[in-house]
Amino acid sequence: MVITDEHLIQRTLAGSQAAFGQLIARYQDFVFSLCMRVLGSREEAEETAQDAFLKVYHNLSTFKQESRFSTWLYTLTYRTALDRARLRKRPVQALETDEYVLQVEDKSTAAPDANLHQADLQDQLEHAINQLKPDAASVVSLYYLQEQSVKEIAEVTGLTETNVKTKLFRSREALRDLLRQSLQQEARQMI
């Protein structure tokens, strides 16, 4: 039996710390990854993720279930990370490639060469995403990696749906150009 977010929320509101622990376990990787994407520092991301979960705990009774819990959590996390970035008075950074690892699907049934090829493509994509502006990288991550809808991304980021679509369009073009350049460089090195 799959325990739903709504069930865990109700149990948490009734006083169950174990239920809240299950919510944290379910979303901690995403919350941390989003904080890393915005802040670029592992230490700040860890602290901000903790702050975000504290805010969730203290504000859980205000969650109205008009949208999914994950959307509400992402919004709260994104805004918490942006607040931290503003406080430090340094620009929001893109991530270093080795600090943020995109999860590659388990292709255990595929041939080893296919796994290597998939990992290489994943590395190239990750590198290209890290070259985008941080706000564009966040939108791309939310849409393609976290599979959020345009409407949900708009809620999380505070952008309009039109702005989200525009950022996605421009980011796809930028990623296409970055990947094309990367592949051309790789081809030149092989010759």
| CATH number for 111 | 1.10.10.10
Do residues 82 and 109 share a domain?
no
Identify the domain containing residue 176 by its residue range: 104-190
The pTM for the full model equals: 0.56
Question: Count of domains in the chain?
Answer: 2
SS3 179: helix
Do residues 108 and 186 share a domain?
yes
Model confidence pLDDT, tens digit, residues 136-185: 888 887 787 777 889 888 887 888 999 999 999 999 899 888 888 877 87
Asked if 95 and 36 count as a contact pair (C-beta separation under 8 A), the reply is yes
Phi, psi of 10, rounded to the nearest 5 degrees: -60, -40
The burial of 73, by beta-carbon neighbours within 10 Å (0-12 exposed, 13-18 middle, 19 or more buried), is given as: buried
Of 87, 120, 143, the one marking the end of a domain is 87
| CATH number for 42 | 1.10.1740.10
| Whole-angstrom distance, CA of residue 31 vs CA of residue 24 | 9
* Structural domain includes residue 26: yes
What secondary structure letter does DSSP report for 98? G
Cα 157 to its chain centre, rounded Å, is 12
* Structural domain includes residue 94: no
| H helix or E strand, kind and range, residue 39 | helix 17-39
SS3 155: helix
Model confidence pLDDT, tens digit, residues 17-53: 999 999 999 999 989 988 888 888 889 999 999 999 9
Of 87, 122, 154, the one marking the end of a domain is 87
